[in-house]
């Protein structure tokens, strides 16, 4: 009995994650109660809130108090903004919200980074390193809450949320609190007021998404990371330039499979609860340029940055015309990189994507000319290939723990690249290679195929759904390890 209560308490060495057996047990127990109150809106929302706060406690301990305090702050600031008679007072209350949210984010996530960078500029190692633990998911729930404040200020939301518990539920909603998708208040809050409808098709789609997400995570992401990618990035100088190049390809596939797998799981869980959460990916490796890539990758973050940073910047810089757009693009992606992590590798990764988008802007006329003289299929193939090559090279910054490691990987790729070693590498790493090929093949299948499979599974009988789900779980379980890696985006 004592061990049971210990399992229910927060353990910093074993936080609760979606791909754990404990989460499956807890969610199943919660869902058995939840589904019985599905039609009683107030009770249903209270149950959701209680489980969401407990879930966050299990993964981040007493930082759940910080979460509630920040949500409470914006709940009342939102009312103050709405009731303000002048624009200046609205801006004043919005500024308070920005200071509270970004102040907490900067303190927990960037304090040591700023200290180390300050001493680094002076050429000495930082003598100070504060013992600051970052609350899991703070980057995401800060952006969720700020979207509510910004939309109220812009009158995109007609009136403030009057139910305190519903607002805390919006900020803490457990499926997307840790790593998105970043739901806006105007999309998620109204759903808590409605009578949920849960059909057999919705349940079928939810289970299908959860299983495919688990497959991506366990079979593709974790296997590639553990059996090839992480080995190279842990010691790039011990591998050839070709192996470093293949590891950069593998890293891009691994991060996509990990993050999109996570997204599939949480969208499926939300759908089981009767809630529709926005999609976050749309076959990003089909992108023909980096602008197109950001319409397909981490779409809710890209939309958030576009709506609340890029468009206001371009409006304020409109007198500069194209130069104003270029400045806004670079600032937006500098912020995007910095948002991802307190490291210069993330900042440079964001800047590299900003520069790539600027290239898309300035080269538009030239590319239009090339399209006229090159067959469409050939142009499309090389566009997709070169875009993926850029993504794989830039992800070295994202994957590396520091600039030194990134420099070693780039050094190997650009000074020691020997394609004659390809056959030897394929022989030595045949399983990771075949998995990379399989992942890309699945990625390039038409979306209609995926929609067809979802529809077919959703229309099956309950018994057939259960049998296929059981078989899928058995297969995934065979590949699951007790040392399974945490989801990549949980660290952001």
CA 441 to chain centre: 23
Question: How far are the Cα atoms of 18, 302, 338 from residue 332, in angstroms, in the given order?
Answer: 31, 10, 10
The first and second tokens of residue 218, run together, are 């366990």
Please work out, in degrees rounded to the nearest 5, the angle formed at the alpha carbon of residue 124 by the alpha carbons of 123 and 125: 135
Q: What is the pLDDT of residue 149?
A: 95
Q: How big, in percent rounded to 5, are the helix, strand and coil portions of the chain? A: 80, 0, 20
Of 242, 216, 247, the C-alpha closest to 230 is 247
What one-character DSSP code corresponds to residue 227? I
Q: With beta carbons less than 8 A apart as the criterion, state whether 60 and 136 touch.
A: yes
- How far apart CA 58 and CA 74 sit, in angstroms, is 24
Burial-class residue 333 by CB neighbours within 10 Å (0-12, 13-18, 19+).
Answer: buried
CB of 162 within 8 A of CB of 192? Answer: no
- The H or E element spanning position 318 is none
Q: How far is the first Cα of the chain from the last one, in angstroms, to the nearest whole number?
A: 35
Report which of 251, 266, 164 is spatially closest to residue 436, judged by C-alpha positions.
251
Structure tokens at 305: 């940055």
From first to last of its 492 residues, the chain has per-residue pLDDT tens of: 555 566 677 776 677 777 777 888 888 899 899 988 888 889 999 999 999 999 999 989 899 999 999 999 999 999 999 998 888 899 999 999 999 999 999 999 988 888 887 777 777 776 777 778 888 889 999 999 999 999 999 888 888 999 999 999 999 999 999 887 999 999 999 999 988 878 878 888 898 899 889 889 888 998 899 889 999 999 999 999 999 999 999 999 999 999 999 999 999 999 999 999 999 999 999 999 999 999 999 999 999 999 999 999 999 999 999 999 999 999 999 999 999 888 899 999 999 999 999 999 998 888 888 888 888 889 989 999 999 999 999 999 999 988 999 999 999 999 988 888 888 888 889 999 999 999 999 888 888 888 887 778 777 777 777 777 777 777 766 666 545 566 665 565
SS3 of 330, please?
A: helix
Query: CA 135 to CA 62: how far, in whole Å?
Result: 9
Neighbouring residues of 167: CB distance < 8 A, sequence distance ≥ 6: 71, 74, 75, 78, 148, 161, 189
Report which of 287, 290, 280, 286 is spatially closest to residue 353, judged by C-alpha positions.
290
Tell me the C-alpha distance between 42 and 458, whole Å: 29
| C-beta separation of 250 from 432 below 8 A | yes
- Asked if 352 contacts 394 with a C-beta cutoff of 8 angstroms, the reply is yes
Q: 3-state class of 225 per DSSP? A: helix
Closest CA relative to residue 292, chosen from 411, 390, 206: 390
Nearest-angstrom CA–CA distance, 192 and 145: 16
* Cα–Cα distance for residue pair 55/64, rounded to 1 Å: 9
Q: What is the DSSP string of 386-428?
A: HHHHHHHHHHHHHHSSSHHHHHHHHHHHHHS--GGGHHHHHHH
The values of phi and psi at residue 289, to 5°, are -165, 175
How is 228-263 classified by DSSP, letter by letter? IIHHHHH-GGGS-HHHHHHHHHHHHHHHHHHHHHHH
**What is the distance between the alpha carbons of residues 382 and 372, in angstroms, rounded to a whole number?**
15
Q: What is the pLDDT of residue 481?
A: 56
Q: Is 177 helix (H, G, I), strand (E, B) or coil?
A: coil
Q: How far apart are CA 68 and CA 169, in angstroms?
A: 10
d(CA 354, CA 335): 10
């Amino acid at each position: 009995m004592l061990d049971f209560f210990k399992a229910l308490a927060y353990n910093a060495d074993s936080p609760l994650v979606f791909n754990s057996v404990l989460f499956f047990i807890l969610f199943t127990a919660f869902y058995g109660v939840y589904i019985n109150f599905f039609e009683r809106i107030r009770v249903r929302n209270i149950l959701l809130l209680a489980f969401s706060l407990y879930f966050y406690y299990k993964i981040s301990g007493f930082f759940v108090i910080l979460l509630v305090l920040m949500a409470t702050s914006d709940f009342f600031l939102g009312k103050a903004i709405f009731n303000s008679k002048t624009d200046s007072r609205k801006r004043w209350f919005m500024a308070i919200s920005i200071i509270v949210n970004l102040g907490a984010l900067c303190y927990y996530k960037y304090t040591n980074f700023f200290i180390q960078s300050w001493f680094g500029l002076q050429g000495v190692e930082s003598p100070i390193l504060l013992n600051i633990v970052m609350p899991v998911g703070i980057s995401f729930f800060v952006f969720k809450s700020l979207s509510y404040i910004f939309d109220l200020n812009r009158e995109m939301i007609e009136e403030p949320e009057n139910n305190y518990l519903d607002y805390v539920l919006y900020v803490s909603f457990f499926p997307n609190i840790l790593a998105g998708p970043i739901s806006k208040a105007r999309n998620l809050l109204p759903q808590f007021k409605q009578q949920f409808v849960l059909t057999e098709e919705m349940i079928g789609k939810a289970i299908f998404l959860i299983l495919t997400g688990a497959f991506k995570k366990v079979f593709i992401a974790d296997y590639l990371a553990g059996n090839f990618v992480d080995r190279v990035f842990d010691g790039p100088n011990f591998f050839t330039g070709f192996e470093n190049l293949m590891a950069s390809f593998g890293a891009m596939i691994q991060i996509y499979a990990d993050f999109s797998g996570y997204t599939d799981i949480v969208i499926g869980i939300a759908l089981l609860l009767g809630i529709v959460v926005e999609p976050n990916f749309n076959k990003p490796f089909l992108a023909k340029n980096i602008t197109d890539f950001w319409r397909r990758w981490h779409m809710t973050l890209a939309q958030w940055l576009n709506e609340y940073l890029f468009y206001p910047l371009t409006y304020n810089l409109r007198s500069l015309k194209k130069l104003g757009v270029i400045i806004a693009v670079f600032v937006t992606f500098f912020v995007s990189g910095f948002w991802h992590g307190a490291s210069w590798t993330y900042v440079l990764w964001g800047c590299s994507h900003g520069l790539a988008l600027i290239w898309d802007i300035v080269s538009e006329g030239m590319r239009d000319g090339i399209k006229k003289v090159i067959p469409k299929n050939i142009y499309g193939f090389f566009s997709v290939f070169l875009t993926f090559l850029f993504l794989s090279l830039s992800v070295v910054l994202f994957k590396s723990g520091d600039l030194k490691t990134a420099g070693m990987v780039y050094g190997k790729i650009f000074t020691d690249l020997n394609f004659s070693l390809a056959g030897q590498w394929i022989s030595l790493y045949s399983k990771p290679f075949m998995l990379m090929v399989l992942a890309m093949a699945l990625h390039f299948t038409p979306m209609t195929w995926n929609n067809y499979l979802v529809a077919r599974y959703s229309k099956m009988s309950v018994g057939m759904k259960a049998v296929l789900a059981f078989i899928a779980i058995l297969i995934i379980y065979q590949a699951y390890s007790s040392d399974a890696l945490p989801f990549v985006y949980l660290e952001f």
